[in-house]
A and B are shown apart, each in its own frame.
Chain A
Amino acid sequence: MASWQRVKVEIPKQYTPIERVAIANEIIEFMIKRTKSGKDVNGSSFPKYTQEYINSKNFDIAGKSKGKVDLELSGEMLNNIELLSHGSGSLLIGFDKSDSELNGKVEGNRIGSYGGEPDSEKARDFLGITNDDLEKILKKFPKKTDQQEANTRRKAIDIVTSLRSAREELDER
């Protein structure tokens, strides 16, 4: 039974709930982009794909290339990273606890088990963010002056409202 896959990200306590949601969204998009570029949490290249996987029909169907390890087949794993909860000073980012199949797949990648024993040589940990990368994201949400605070609030509202509107449009169907 796979464990629940999630990471806690610490952020300054000054951020309001809507700003925390906007920051979480930026972090999730950063994780997805970094993974698609073939890098793990620490910026190291992922271990190469096995020859068996490269020879599989699904590898062809997904249009993958053997030199580009991006953890994407249908894209479902990366697209399911979500903000699970947030509170003053912290964000919990990860996967829906009730989806055991998805959590199993994520765990397999993160610890290199892929249904077997954990193997650090095969591990592809993509869930998380370094402090340096987090700092870069937080710089986009400054709050030192009143003007910066107003801009950050406005930006957060734009991001969150855009995402919510987009998702509402989709959920209606």
Chain B
Amino acid sequence: MSVKVNVGNIAKSIEDKIKKSVSISVDQELANETAEQIKKRTQLGFGVDDNGRQTKLKPLSMSYRAQRRGEIAFFTDESGRKIPYIPSEKPTLSPYTSPAKSNLTKTGEMLESIKGIVKDTSIFINVTGKRRDGSGLTNEEVKEFVEQQGREFMRLTNGEKNELARKLKDRILRNLK
């Protein structure tokens, strides 16, 4: 008689249990926290590069800074030309920005609209809804525009992935007990 214990099978069985536990570990609280983290990082002025590193968002142009200070504004004439003029009022900026700060915040509307939702074992995070500024644009369209300008923010940094993995690990271990 001999006894054979296959450690490989034990590890496989644990792995299977953990995979099952992942589905109940991904919840709305985690989605909300992740959405909030993206919003905070962006408001601080950081985007994410292609290697998952946190990087400073591209600086604002001098012309746009002047617009944010209320020194100049533009209107588009019938031929599509942009005509400058001196506005009578300064634009109202969010308290979380300043004229020279590059943090994808003017009124704060786009970042405020970031929401996380859970579907099965996935968390989806994106901007939501229409603009309240009468432009007829959606926040998604504004996001696409700023990303085309080289300000990528709707991603997770390597550090954010590490943090999320640790939170998930704690939940998975709790659910395994």
Contacts and interface: CB of A to CB of B under 8 A. Distances in A.
Interface stretch (A3-11, A55-63, A86-94, A112-120): A55-63
Contacts of B44: 58, 61-62, 73-74
Nearest to A170: B161
B22 A165 contact: yes
Contacts of B98: 57
Contacts of A159: 169, 173
B102 interface: no
B176 A163 contact: no
B169 A163 contact: yes
Contact of B40 (A61, A102, A157, A166): A61
Interface stretch (A38-46, A75-83, A121-129): A75-83
B1 interface: no
A74 B40 contact: yes
A65 B97 CA distance: 19
* Interface size, B (range): 35 or more
The binding surface of chain B is classed by DSSP as helix
Interface string A149-173: 0000010011101110111011101
A167 B161 contact: yes
A12 B44 CA distance: 42
Interface in B17-42: 18-19, 21-22, 37, 40-41
A173 B126 CA distance: 14
The binding surface of chain A is classed by DSSP as helix
Nearest to A29: B166
A170 B164 contact: yes
A99 interface: yes
B168 A166 contact: yes
Contact of B172 (A62, A157, A162): A162
8 contacts: A61-B40, A73-B44, A101-B53, A157-B14, A167-B165, A169-B22, A170-B165, A173-B122
Interface of A: 29, 57-58, 60-63, 73-80, 82, 99, 101-102, 154, 157-159, 161-163, 165-167, 169-171, 173
Which 7 pairs from chain A and chain B are nearest by CB?
A: A79-B159, A166-B168, A166-B165, A162-B172, A162-B169, A76-B159, A167-B165
Given A74-B46, A162-B176, 5 more contacts: A57-B97, A57-B101, A61-B96, A158-B18, A165-B22
